Chains A and B, each alone.
Chain A
Amino acid sequence: MISKKCYKIYLIGIGGQGTIKTATIIGEAAMSQGLNVVMSEVHGMAQRGGTVVTEMKIGQAESPLIERNAANLVLAFEPSEILRTLDKIGEQTQVIANSSTIVPFTVSLGISTYPEKKRMLDKLKKEINNFYLIDAEKLAKEAGHLITANIVILGAALAIPGFPISRKIVIESVKKNLPVRMIDINLKALELGYKELFSE
């Protein structure tokens, strides 16, 4: 059940991809726009190559944790990670996923398998009403560095109807939260992500 009182964003990725940084950029932007915002981060051991989840609510809310089926927006920085977050996705949830996969070490040891990519993506497209797949790695390289893939996805999020923060304020927040020498390529990454989804 999507709430009318707040906008709920669920971010999921792998330690090192910039999941928490992306959420912080959104959160500070929300604050600059005069909105209330609460967020929950993952710290510690889970950052080392494991799954990283960040949940946030923008608007009237005290708890940052998102109820079942209730996310407005899911940003998945790795496609198979969506399989871990299906319970947050409801009829109206919009999902943006990076198409590039990261295979964990457990697969090479033979104690786990990575799903067959095409079958996985077909199934996700079929079962999720609003599913957008973008090649964030390709666009990040185009922007100037692979490391900006998270900002490509943030750019795409800005093109989602109903996203509660203005593009201008998000750009300011990107500038405030990233190293000065990386700002130009990050802004380009943001733009490329936005255009990619906008043209859908």
Chain B
Amino acid sequence: MKIEDILEKKKDEKLFLLGNEAAVRGALEAGITFTSTYPGTPSSEIGNVLAKIAKKAGVYFEFSVNEKVALEVSAAAAASGLRSFVFMKHVGLNVAADAFMSTAYTGVRGGMIILSADDPSMHSSQNEQDNRLFAQMAGVPVLEPANPQEVKDLMHYGIEISEQFQIPVLMRTTTRVSHMRAIVKLGDIKKKNKEGFFEKEENRFNIAPAFARKLRKSLVEKLQQIEEVANNSTVNQIVKECNSKTGVITSGAPYNYVIDVVNENNLQVNILKLGLSYPFPRGLVRKFLDGLERVIIVEEVEPFIEKEVLALIGKEYKKIKVHGKLDDTFPRIYEYNPDIIAESIAKVVNFNLPEQTDKNIDIEPPFRPPVLCPGCPHRSSIYAIKKAVNSLKIRDEDVIYSNDIGCYTLAMQPPYNMADYCICMGSSIGIGSGMAKATKQKVISLIGDSTFFHAGIPPLINAVHNRANIMVVVLDNRITAMTGGQPNPSIPLDGWGEETPVISIEELAKATGAGYVAVINPGNIKKATEIFKEALQYKGVSVVISRSPCIMLKSKEKRPNFQINQEKCTRCQICLKQFNCPAIYKKDDGSIHINELLCTGCGVCVQVCPQKAIEVKK
């Protein structure tokens, strides 16, 4: 499949789409013309696809500097009558929370979908938060698609609800939906306005307390009305009805496991699937529960539906047993899978689980964590920082590495061990300032270029203003690399690939008043080490911008391969154990070699080798 197919294929044609790709098609079919994001797995591919096709589709798209800004620009578009779509990973909604909570109050005019890609089991995230709770706190309706087809279809449905009730709608996907690939039947692409007009309405889009009090009342009324919609919605449906006293209520990806287990084992249970789970469709659920003796709630992360069901049963004094997370029928943590579902349901409904056969293989696979790519400039930076720290004779326990969210977080692994504290975007500098105030230890804050723009500037201002003593290293590889290489303000190209002004990190750093600002090329280890030494000795805030493009951006063609001269090599293993490039490996006989396929030809290892044993392969 070509990416352009997502735009060009016609109604009733079929494509094998990723959930995230289906979201783009859904947005186009729903007549959405304004889109924004800050990239984050598992939502990143939505932006990657839009960057390629939005212009051709006549849709505005931007990579915003952070999720709060992304939500604000899309909210503005929706207030101006356009249909808008903002998307982010679950923790992105934390960044956007301030704008999110109040946008629920002001509401929208054109429809607005806010997609939150939750990550049960934390495949690529720092926590497992369930953003249905966030939506409930804000008072924003929640859609829960189970597969790519539903992602596409609910995009349309959500826009209708949003426009009808003038309220933003949260679409909660999870990793297994965002990164599930399946056949999607396409619909027509709607043509909608590209240009909005903002009609002023001062008591609505200006939430001064007096207005907010009224808006709060109107929000609650809207939610009551939408609950009626949820009670009669086609996306909330009883998918299996039989003569049984047992019911199952489920939503999202867990529905897929439930229906497969039920079909495979011929289980006689009634199943209610919720696609619009908040406001909770109490009328429909009450009807479903009628005559049941037990109900099994299958949902991922938090007992969100379960608590609503318990409240409903309690309010009406019904005698129905509720099995879910709260009585330990299902695990409280991590994502589900078919085995977990089968075993959990079997605790309530009697059926024979298949026998398990264990293989007698007592061999452990090697530990294979993700690693900085061969040729990654971050490796050179962190190697040089370590060298500078060592040559200043600062003991390991006297230096705190405050790390951030990006590829360089991988410096947490041995042999570098350079991530002592890392919680969220921008936290390296905020945490670093606090550490510098609270301790006498040397603080080194590591942050990427994209992350610096996203949430690094206010804490840098804070560090300078409050006279913290830290070295900030901006690992500027000219791209948002970890999520797949999206642009950010450090390069002269925007999301469309068009020329745009560059925002200078060094000028920003100087403007904060940081007393020491330097730009280095980490490819020159010796020089880089000298600068880091200077910066470490500076009293106050020093900022070193270590600038070299991500190796994935460079074409391989012009670069040579390297090899190790076995006569010169003394097997000191500095290349292996300190520099730790994955292209360098040791053979069983102890000799050290470079893997030709992995080597990217960066040549930094040549500088690292004290014996000068690494040379260009002829």
Q: Chain B contacts of A127 at CB under 8 A?
A: 359-361
Determine how close the nearest CB of chain B comes to the CB of A179; give it in whole angstroms: 12
Please tell me if the beta carbons of A24 and B181 are within 8 angstroms of each other in the complex. yes
CA distance A176 to B496 in the complex (A): 25
Check if B370 is an interface residue, CB within 8 A of chain A.
Answer: yes
- Whether A90 touches B365, Cβ cut-off 8 Å, given contacts A41-B18, A63-B257, is no
The digit string for B343-379, where 1 denotes a CB below 8 A from any CB of A, is 0000000000010110111011111111111000000
Check if B264 is an interface residue, CB within 8 A of chain A.
Answer: yes
Please tell me if the beta carbons of B180 and A107 are within 8 angstroms of each other in the complex. no
Q: Chain B contacts of A84 at CB under 8 A?
A: 365
Which residue of chain B has the shortest Cβ distance to A84 in the bound complex?
B365
CA distance A45 to B361 in the complex (A): 29
Please tell me if the beta carbons of A63 and B256 are within 8 angstroms of each other in the complex. yes
Please tell me if the beta carbons of A111 and B585 are within 8 angstroms of each other in the complex. no
Check if B586 is an interface residue, CB within 8 A of chain A.
Answer: yes
- Whether A44 touches B41, Cβ cut-off 8 Å, given contacts A112-B366, A113-B366, A123-B363, is yes
Q: Which of A46-54, A162-170, A191-199 contacts its partner?
A: A46-54
Check if B410 is an interface residue, CB within 8 A of chain A.
Answer: yes
CA distance A46 to B338 in the complex (A): 22
Determine how close the nearest CB of chain B comes to the CB of A79; give it in whole angstroms: 10
Please tell me if the beta carbons of A15 and B180 are within 8 angstroms of each other in the complex. no
Determine how close the nearest CB of chain B comes to the CB of A110; give it in whole angstroms: 8
Looking at A46, A65, A89, A146, the one whose CB has the most chain B CB atoms below 10 A away is A65
Which residue of chain B has the shortest Cβ distance to A107 in the bound complex?
B366
- Whether A108 touches B585, Cβ cut-off 8 Å, given contacts A49-B368, A80-B365, A115-B363, is yes
Which residue of chain A has the shortest Cβ distance to B89 in the bound complex?
A44
Check if B79 is an interface residue, CB within 8 A of chain A.
Answer: no
Check if B597 is an interface residue, CB within 8 A of chain A.
Answer: yes
CA distance A64 to B253 in the complex (A): 10
- Whether A106 touches B359, Cβ cut-off 8 Å, given contacts A44-B44, A48-B373, A67-B338, is no
Determine how close the nearest CB of chain B comes to the CB of A132; give it in whole angstroms: 17
CA distance A86 to B357 in the complex (A): 10
Determine how close the nearest CB of chain B comes to the CB of A6; give it in whole angstroms: 9
CA distance A14 to B342 in the complex (A): 30
CA distance A39 to B371 in the complex (A): 26
Determine how close the nearest CB of chain B comes to the CB of A125; give it in whole angstroms: 11
Q: Chain A contacts of B373 at CB under 8 A?
A: 48-49
Please tell me if the beta carbons of B365 and A62 are within 8 angstroms of each other in the complex. no
Check if A5 is an interface residue, CB within 8 A of chain B.
Answer: yes
Q: Chain B contacts of A41 at CB under 8 A?
A: 18, 179-181
Q: Which of A30-38, A150-158, A182-190 contacts its partner?
A: A30-38
Check if A144 is an interface residue, CB within 8 A of chain B.
Answer: no
Check if B582 is an interface residue, CB within 8 A of chain A.
Answer: yes
Please tell me if the beta carbons of B176 and A40 are within 8 angstroms of each other in the complex. yes
Please tell me if the beta carbons of B365 and A38 are within 8 angstroms of each other in the complex. no
Check if B45 is an interface residue, CB within 8 A of chain A.
Answer: yes
Q: Chain A contacts of B241 at CB under 8 A?
A: none
Check if B131 is an interface residue, CB within 8 A of chain A.
Answer: no
Determine how close the nearest CB of chain B comes to the CB of A89; give it in whole angstroms: 7
Please tell me if the beta carbons of B260 and A62 are within 8 angstroms of each other in the complex. yes
Within the complex, which residue of B123, B354, B415 is in contact with A44, where a contact is CB–CB below 8 Å? B123
Please tell me if the beta carbons of B368 and A106 are within 8 angstroms of each other in the complex. yes
CA distance A128 to B354 in the complex (A): 19
Check if B430 is an interface residue, CB within 8 A of chain A.
Answer: no
Q: Chain A contacts of B582 at CB under 8 A?
A: 49, 104-105
Q: Chain B contacts of A15 at CB under 8 A?
A: 370
The digit string for B573-586, where 1 denotes a CB below 8 A from any CB of A, is 10011001010111
Which residue of chain B has the shortest Cβ distance to A117 in the bound complex?
B588
Q: Which of B44-101 contact A (CB under 8 A)?
A: 44-45
Determine how close the nearest CB of chain A comes to the CB of B194; give it in whole angstroms: 31
Q: Chain A contacts of B407 at CB under 8 A?
A: 48
Determine how close the nearest CB of chain A comes to the CB of B359; give it in whole angstroms: 5
The digit string for B252-265, where 1 denotes a CB below 8 A from any CB of A, is 01011101100110
Q: Chain A contacts of B259 at CB under 8 A?
A: 62-63
Check if A61 is an interface residue, CB within 8 A of chain B.
Answer: yes
Q: Chain B contacts of A104 at CB under 8 A?
A: 366-369, 371, 582
- Whether A111 touches B367, Cβ cut-off 8 Å, given contacts A1-B354, A44-B123, A63-B338, is yes
Q: Chain A contacts of B124 at CB under 8 A?
A: 43-46
Q: Chain B contacts of A142 at CB under 8 A?
A: none
Q: Chain A contacts of B181 at CB under 8 A?
A: 24, 27, 38-41, 64
Q: Chain A contacts of B372 at CB under 8 A?
A: 48
Determine how close the nearest CB of chain A comes to the CB of B178; give it in whole angstroms: 8
Please tell me if the beta carbons of B183 and A62 are within 8 angstroms of each other in the complex. no
Which residue of chain B has the shortest Cβ distance to A20 in the bound complex?
B181
Determine how close the nearest CB of chain B comes to the CB of A145; give it in whole angstroms: 10
Please tell me if the beta carbons of B16 and A24 are within 8 angstroms of each other in the complex. yes
Q: Chain B contacts of A68 at CB under 8 A?
A: 339, 354, 356
- Whether A69 touches B482, Cβ cut-off 8 Å, given contacts A49-B370, A105-B371, A106-B366, is no
Please tell me if the beta carbons of B123 and A42 are within 8 angstroms of each other in the complex. yes
Please tell me if the beta carbons of A69 and B364 are within 8 angstroms of each other in the complex. no
Check if B238 is an interface residue, CB within 8 A of chain A.
Answer: no
Check if A135 is an interface residue, CB within 8 A of chain B.
Answer: no
Q: Which of A74-96 contact B (CB under 8 A)?
A: 80-81, 83-84, 86, 89-91
Q: Chain A contacts of B223 at CB under 8 A?
A: none
Please tell me if the beta carbons of A67 and B256 are within 8 angstroms of each other in the complex. no
Q: Chain A contacts of B370 at CB under 8 A?
A: 15, 45-50
Please tell me if the beta carbons of A31 and B183 are within 8 angstroms of each other in the complex. yes
Which residue of chain B has the shortest Cβ distance to A123 in the bound complex?
B361
- Whether A65 touches B176, Cβ cut-off 8 Å, given contacts A38-B181, A81-B365, A112-B367, is yes
Q: Chain B contacts of A103 at CB under 8 A?
A: 366, 585
Within the complex, which residue of B1, B180, B364, B368 is in contact with A50, where a contact is CB–CB below 8 Å? B368
Please tell me if the beta carbons of A44 and B482 are within 8 angstroms of each other in the complex. yes
Please tell me if the beta carbons of A37 and B367 are within 8 angstroms of each other in the complex. no
CA distance A5 to B342 in the complex (A): 17
Within the complex, which residue of B41, B257, B483, B577 is in contact with A108, where a contact is CB–CB below 8 Å? B577
Which residue of chain B has the shortest Cβ distance to A80 in the bound complex?
B365
Check if B414 is an interface residue, CB within 8 A of chain A.
Answer: yes
Determine how close the nearest CB of chain A comes to the CB of B609; give it in whole angstroms: 15
- Whether A83 touches B365, Cβ cut-off 8 Å, given contacts A62-B260, A91-B357, is yes
Which residue of chain A has the shortest Cβ distance to B376 in the bound complex?
A48
Q: Chain A contacts of B338 at CB under 8 A?
A: 63, 65-67
Please tell me if the beta carbons of B368 and A40 are within 8 angstroms of each other in the complex. no
Determine how close the nearest CB of chain A comes to the CB of B494; give it in whole angstroms: 23
Which residue of chain B has the shortest Cβ distance to A61 in the bound complex?
B260
Determine how close the nearest CB of chain A comes to the CB of B446; give it in whole angstroms: 16
CA distance A177 to B181 in the complex (A): 15
Q: Chain A contacts of B260 at CB under 8 A?
A: 61-63
Please tell me if the beta carbons of A51 and B368 are within 8 angstroms of each other in the complex. yes
Q: Chain A contacts of B176 at CB under 8 A?
A: 40, 64-65
Q: Chain B contacts of A64 at CB under 8 A?
A: 176, 180-182, 256
12 contacts between A and B (CB under 8 A): A37-B183, A41-B18, A48-B371, A50-B371, A62-B256, A63-B338, A66-B338, A69-B354, A104-B371, A104-B582, A108-B584, A111-B367
List 5 A-B pairs, minimum CB-CB distance, nearest first. Answer: A44-B41, A63-B256, A44-B124, A112-B367, A83-B365
Question: Known pairs A39-B180, A115-B366, A127-B360. 19 more at Cβ < 8 A?
Answer: A27-B16, A28-B1, A40-B180, A43-B41, A44-B123, A45-B370, A48-B373, A60-B263, A62-B147, A63-B338, A104-B371, A105-B371, A106-B369, A106-B414, A112-B367, A114-B366, A127-B359, A127-B361, A146-B597
